[in-house]
Amino acid sequence: MSYETIKFEINDGVAIITLNRPEDANALTQKLAEELFDASVICQTDDAIRAVVITGAGKLFCGGGDLKEFDQNMHRGEAHLIHVATILHAALIRFAKMDAPVIMAVNGTAGGGGFSVALAGDFVIAADHAKFVSAYTASSLTPDGSSTYFLAKHVGLLRAKELMLTNRVLTAHEAQEWGIVNRVVDASELMDEAIKLAQQFANGPTKAYGGTKRLLLTAYSDTMETQLDKEAQSIGSMMNTVDGPHGVSSFLNKQKPKFTGK
Amino acid at 27: A
From 66, 99, 122, 144, the catalytic residue: 144
From 89, 99, 122, 243, the catalytic residue: 89
DSSP 68-106: HHHHHTGGGHHHHHHHHHHHHHHHHHHHHHSSS-EEEEE
What whole-number distance in Å separates Cα of residue 104 and Cα of residue 107?
9
Catalytic annotation on 144? yes
Q: Determine the length of the chain.
A: 262
Query: Which one-letter DSSP state was computed for residue 202?
Result: H
Beta strands in the chain (DSSP E): 6-11, 14-19, 51-56, 102-106, 110-111, 123-127, 131-133, 170-171, 183-185
CA distances from 145 to 18, 41, 153, 254 (A): 17, 17, 15, 44
Q: Which residues are catalytic?
A: 89, 144
